[in-house]
Amino acid sequence: MMSKQTRRCCNSKPPAATTPIKSLHVVLGKTTDLRSLTHEYRHHTSYLVEELFIEPSCSYSFGLAPTVSEPDWDRHLTEARRLFRALGDFPQLKKIHIKCLGASGCGFPLELLTALLINPMREMYLQELVLEQCQFSSQDDYDHDRTDLVLAVRFLNNLKRLECDERAFRFPGAGGMWEEDDQDVQDRHGGCCNAQFIQTIMELPRLQDLKFAAPHNSSVCKLDSAALETFVTSSRSLSLKNFQLDSSSLAALAMAMESPACCLDSLDLDISHAWAAVNDLFQAFASNTSLTNLELWVSDMASWKEHQCSIVLANALVQNTHLKSLKLRGLKPFSEDSIAAFCKILEANDTLTEIELFGASGERLAPAIEFYTTLNAKDGGRKQKLQDMSNYSMSQWMQVLGDTNTRTSRMTDDGGMHNLEGLYFWLRRNPSVITSVDSSSSSQENVSKNDELIYVDC
């Protein structure tokens, strides 16, 4: 059930102006009366609306894909302009979220987005802008529409979070994808992204969280190195997809990551097109102390193997003592040297509690990953566990082994298998306490032929 402070409007009149509204949810379908909505909103722009959420209409039938509809923007552009100007007149919007507009039709006109942002009050209030899986278009001059958008964005001095996902997307059952070799389609659906737009975003003074996915067929993306370095040094989260990061951009990013002033906590980067230049960035991870979440979309090119990129990354992360989550996508099978290098990460790093390797190398390392991440995640982490074990008395050792004997599943919150993992790793780190190792014989009761008995000097 919707909150009393949230209003959902689709072909219906907004509530009376005397009711304060925190969130306004606007659903626009193919049959929505845009003129009527515009008339109503123009008379009630004094609403204290803080969040605006706009999406297309979606209906569901049992067993069938959802049916999505939105206005015919080409046919009703004049009415749409008036509606979005009226929505843009709400003065105290702190968040604007547009979802999937343009994905089921001929594209969402870029000028309508600009209409929401040109209100002078946006500079003071707007903190979050989310453009989720939208596909933009232009009816006239794309360069002119982009310039207008850049001018509007430039004044969003209080914006803290921006998410823009322009990757090719359509709802199931809404028709086929646009063909990338159709020049007319490319001219009208080039997205809002260009170098000037990206640089303007990077220079926003309070932006802390940037997530940007450019269109697959975009030729964008030479990032201004100075702007990128400044953003990374002073911001918390950065995600870039389908961007062509050249050597100068990667060098700037590496320099920012090595800076003591760097406060970037999360980095999600598509570097699948790059190879030798990424090694400078990887080496910067060794000394970085701010990053806790790292996700990389890596290359499957032979050049990566030639320049040992995977090994350089692994060697750097062995030295990193702050990273908690590591995700690598697009991996081809590791060489034996790469597998050995990643095993060193697992042995040396006691902060990683999540590792995901998407690709052919993940299965081979899965048991080791589970072992070490489980050990790092429970009971204060591996470091605390080993520190405690170093001072165990005889009775405490017996308790550990007793718990291990009675619990056999890793799935339990306090299972003995965790104790056994800790014991195993502690013995590997402290081999001097092992006085002898005897292979079992068939005469020993309750001991398998493949087991070994380890005697520890307590």
Q: What number does CATH give the domain 262-377?
A: 3.80.10.10
Between 56-70, 328-342, 385-399, the lowest mean confidence (pLDDT) is in: 385-399
Three-state SS letters, the chain: CCCCCEEEECCCCCCCCCCCCCEEEEEECCCCCHHHHHHHHHCCCCCCCCEEEEEEEEECCCCCCCEEECCCCCCCHHHHHHHHHHHHCCCCCCEEEEECCCCCCCCEEHHHHHHHHCCCCHHHHCCEEEEECCCEECCCCHHHHHHHHHHHHCCCCCCCEEEEECCCCCCCCCCCCCCCCCHHHHHHCCCCCCHHHHHHHHCCCCCCEEEEECCCCCCCCCCCHHHHHHHHHHCCEEEEECCCCCHHHHHHHHHHHHCCCCCCCEEEEECCCCCCCHHHHHHHHCCCCCCCEEEEECCCCHHHHHCCHHHHHHHHHHHCCCCCEEEEEEECCCCHHHHHHHHHHHHHCCCCCEEEEEECCHHHHHHHHHHHHHHHHCCCCHHHHHHHHCCCCHHHHHHHHHHHHHCCCCCCCCCHHHHHHHHHHHHHHCHHHEEEEEECCCCCCCCCCCCEEEEECC
pTM of the model as a whole: 0.76
Domain residue ranges of the chain, discontinuous segments joined by + = 1-220, 262-377, 382-456
What number is the average pLDDT over the span 411-429?
A: 54
pLDDT digits (tens, 9 = 90+) for 8-19: 555 445 555 445
pLDDT digits (tens, 9 = 90+) for 364-410: 777 878 878 877 877 666 766 666 666 666 566 666 555 544 444 44
Between 14-23, 54-63, 328-337, 404-413, the lowest mean confidence (pLDDT) is in: 404-413
What pLDDT score was predicted for residue 449? Answer: 47
